[in-house]
């Protein structure tokens, strides 16, 4: 969808513009008059607000930050988010095995669309609004996806953190 068409129907952008349609010479996000050489956005804040709610990579990181890099269901928080680097002289196969072991020991968080977007992550759109995103650990995300699509057999139960077992 073209940017202007997206922002014309976007509930957040319409609210920011006070319900006004997009007008020439005004910011497409907040309807403030444009100054200088600006043609669409009145400032970097409006660009960032748009990206945080419409571009998957930016929206995903914003959701993780908002949720404190914790699973909103079970409270799991990764101990490390920095993946290991390939060491000098290490073969690709050895590195891949070491990386796989590291990822199993340090499961990372995923971001779930509360209302499923059905594979539309690469497409900018209103399905990436922050109120539609939540940070989940892998087991909770698998369970939620199973619930959303009715896969009863795939339900995941988060581990009990008191047992000292991390998935």
Q: What single string gives the DSSP state of each residue in 125-156?
A: SGGG-GGGEEEE-HHHHHHHHHHHHT-GGG--
Report the C-alpha gap between 93 and 89 in whole angstroms: 12
Query: At a CB cut-off of 8 Å and minimum separation 6, what does 51 contact?
Result: 58, 59
Q: What are phi and psi of 111, to 5 degrees?
A: -115, 125
Tokens (6 digits) for 10: 């976007």
pLDDT (0 to 100) of residue 117: 83
pLDDT (0 to 100) of residue 7: 85
- Nearest residue to 10 via CA among 127, 131, 133: 127
pLDDT (0 to 100) of residue 41: 93
Report the C-alpha gap between 30 and 21 in whole angstroms: 10
Sign of torsion, CA 153 166 68 109?
negative
pLDDT (0 to 100) of residue 99: 82
Let me know how many helices (H) and strands (E) the chain has, helices first: 6, 2
pLDDT (0 to 100) of residue 92: 87
pLDDT (0 to 100) of residue 123: 86
pLDDT (0 to 100) of residue 121: 80
CA 136 to chain centre: 11
pLDDT (0 to 100) of residue 2: 76
- Dump pLDDT digits (tens) for 127-160: 999 999 999 998 899 999 999 888 754 444 544 4
Low-confidence ranges of the chain (pLDDT < 50): 153-156, 158-161, 163-167
pLDDT (0 to 100) of residue 156: 46
Report the C-alpha gap between 116 and 150 in whole angstroms: 13
pLDDT (0 to 100) of residue 149: 86
**How many residues are listed for the chain in this entry?**
167
pLDDT (0 to 100) of residue 152: 56
Domain residues of the chain, as ranges? 1-54
pTM of the model: 0.73
């Amino acid at each position: 969808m073209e940017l202007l068409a997206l922002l014309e129907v976007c509930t957040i952008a319409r609210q920011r513009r006070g319900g006004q349609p997009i007008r020439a010479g005004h910011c497409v996000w907040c309807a403030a008059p444009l100054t200088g050489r600006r043609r669409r956005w009145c400032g970097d804040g409006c660009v960032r607000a748009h990206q945080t709610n419409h571009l998957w990579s930016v929206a995903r990181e914003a959701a993780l930050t908002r949720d404190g890099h914790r699973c909103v269901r079970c409270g799991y928080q990764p101990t490390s988010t920095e993946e290991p680097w390939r060491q000098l002289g290490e073969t690709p196969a050895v590195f891949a095995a070491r990386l796989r072991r590291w990822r199993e020991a340090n499961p990372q968080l995923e971001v779930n669309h509360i209302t499923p977007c059905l594979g539309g992550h690469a497409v900018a759109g209103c399905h990436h609004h922050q109120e539609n995103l939540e940070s989940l650990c892998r087991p909770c995300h698998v369970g939620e996806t199973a619930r959303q699509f009715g896969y009863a057999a795939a339900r995941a139960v988060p581990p009990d953190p008191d047992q000292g077992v991390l998935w």
